[in-house]
């Protein structure tokens, strides 16, 4: 199995997080559960969901069913703790609402706890952000979540949080990152503060699959354009979350062991930055 699927990175709380996750944005019901089942079958051990995606139940029940199917096979069984489940808070309303949402996500997923819980965005202003973060801290302390983090936080939001002397520094900032949007300011701030970067839209939603440089380098490394982009994210030290609902693509997107992009070519890819936003960009919100 590809080492991208078996290796982990230590978060700032010491917990190892899988290097590659399946994203399940814009999938629901059967499509979501079948994507999760294909991914787990291919060796993925981490799924990125969200309250907003309305697929926590589909993703969670597919994980539970997969684990159950493994109990009847020879060899060491797979357990809940072998699959990482991330979900996210839809809106930064306040402390109590966040605690309720976390418990609701645990119920929806049926997984007993959440591995990583993220504030999905910085929207809501400074007071709400801090209140919601306090709720995540308490949920982690009480064992509802193993780690807490943020998503779409810009440098000013991260600095604001650190200035408030949190008992927990976010373990992760999940942002859009790929060669066409390298997010230099945020990624270097996170590196300085030991906050791991989860790269969302790591395939740039396939919008640049035919870019001449991507085509040239895919040919050079005998890989697909999607593998090249996933590998770039891994070599940068990020945790890519490629999404697909197709079994063959899910498998292929993780088969990135057979090549290493040279430092020079990583720089060439960095140079493709055009600040491409594929979905939304709240990193500068008030
Ligand atoms: N925190 C946030 O605000 C936020 C925002 C956006 C995304 N995310 C997370 O990040 C994950 C990934 O981002 P994303 O879904 O926006 O985009 P993405 O992973 O960059 O791209 C997904 C698109 O690429 C296609 N694709 C995947 N593999 C392919 C392949 N090998 N060949 C051709 N096309 C391929 C998929 O189509 P098929 O499914 O048809 O294969 C889909 O249309 C999400 O699912 C979600 O978990 C988080």
Residue numbers in the known binding site for substrate are 120
Ligand 1, residue 50: give the atom nearest the CA: 47
State mean pLDDT over 62-75. Answer: 87
pLDDT surpasses 90 at 135: yes
Domains assigned to the chain? 3-270 (3.20.20.100)
How far, in Å, are 86, 103, 119 from residue 93 at the CA level? 20, 15, 11
User: Dihedral angle at the C-alpha atoms of 122, 253, 63, 88, nearest 10 degrees?
Assistant: 0
User: pLDDT by residue (tens digit) across 236-263?
Assistant: 999 999 999 999 999 999 999 999 999 9
In which band, very low, low, confident or very high, does the pLDDT at 44 lie, cut at 50, 70 and 90? Answer: very high
Closest CA to 177 of 235, 103, 260, 105: 235
238/172 Cα distance (integer angstroms)? 10
Ligand 1, residue 253: give the atom nearest the CA: 31
285/153 Cα distance (integer angstroms)? 9
Model pLDDT, residue 252: 98
Whether the CB-CB separation of 144 and 106 falls below 8 Å is answered with yes
What are the φ and ψ backbone dihedral angles of 75, each rounded to 5 degrees?
90, 175
State mean pLDDT over 8-35. Answer: 97
The chain-wide mean pLDDT, for the chain, equals 97
Model pLDDT, residue 73: 73
211/62 Cα distance (integer angstroms)? 36
How close is the Cα of 4 to the center of ligand 1, in Å?
A: 17
pLDDT > 90: percent of the chain: 96
How close is the Cα of 178 to the center of ligand 1, in Å?
A: 12
Residues 6 or more apart in contact with residue 151 via CB below 8 angstroms: 88, 118, 119, 120, 121, 173, 174, 175, 198, 200
207/195 Cα distance (integer angstroms)? 28
53 included as an active-site residue: yes
In which band, very low, low, confident or very high, does the pLDDT at 104 lie, cut at 50, 70 and 90? Answer: very high
Residues framing ligand 1 (Cβ under 6 A):
23-25, 48, 120, 151-152, 174, 200-206, 224, 226, 241-246, 249, 252-253, 278-279
Ligand 1, residue 178: give the atom nearest the CA: 20
Residues 6 or more apart in contact with residue 26 via CB below 8 angstroms: 53, 243
State mean pLDDT over 150-154. Answer: 98
How does 239-270 read in b/e, with b if 16+ C-beta sit within 10 Å? bbbbbbbeeebbbbbbbbeeeebeeebbeebe
pLDDT surpasses 70 at 74: no
Residue ID of nearest Cα to ligand 1 atom 34: 206
Residue ID of nearest Cα to ligand 1 atom 26: 244
Model pLDDT, residue 97: 98
């Amino acid at each position: 199995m590809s080492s991208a699927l078996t290796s982990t990175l230590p978060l700032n709380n010491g917990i190892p997080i899988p290097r590659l996750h399946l994203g399940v944005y814009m999938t629901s019901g059967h499509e979501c559960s079948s994507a999760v089942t294909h991914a787990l079958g291919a060796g993925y051990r981490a799924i990125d969901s969200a309250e907003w995606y309305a697929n926590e139940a589909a993703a969670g029940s597919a994980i539970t069913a997969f684990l159950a199917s493994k109990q009847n096979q020879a060899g060491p069984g797979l357990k809940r703790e072998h699959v990482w489940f991330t979900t996210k808070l839809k809106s930064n309303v306040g402390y109590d609402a966040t605690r309720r949402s976390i418990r609701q996500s645990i119920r929806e997923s049926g997984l007993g706890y959440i591995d990583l819980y993220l504030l999905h965005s910085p929207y809501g202003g400074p007071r709400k952000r801090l209140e919601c973060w306090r709720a995540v801290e308490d949920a982690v302390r009480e064992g509802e979540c193993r780690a807490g983090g943020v998503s779409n936080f810009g440098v000013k939001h991260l600095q604001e949080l650190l200035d408030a002397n949190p008992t927990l520094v976010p373990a992760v900032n999940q942002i859009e990152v790929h060669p066409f949007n390298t997010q230099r300011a945020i990624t270097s701030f996170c590196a300085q503060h030991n906050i791991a970067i989860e790269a969302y839209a790591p395939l740039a939603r396939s919008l640049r699959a035919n870019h001449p440089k991507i085509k040239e380098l895919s040919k050079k490394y005998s890989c697909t354009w999607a593998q090249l982009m996933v590998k770039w994210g891994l070599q940068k030290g990020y945790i890519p979350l490629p999404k697909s609902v197709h079994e063959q693509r899910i498998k292929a997107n993780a088969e990135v062991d057979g090549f290493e992009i040279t430092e020079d070519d990583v720089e060439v890819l960095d140079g493709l930055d055009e600040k491409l936003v594929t979905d939304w960009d709240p990193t500068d919100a008030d």
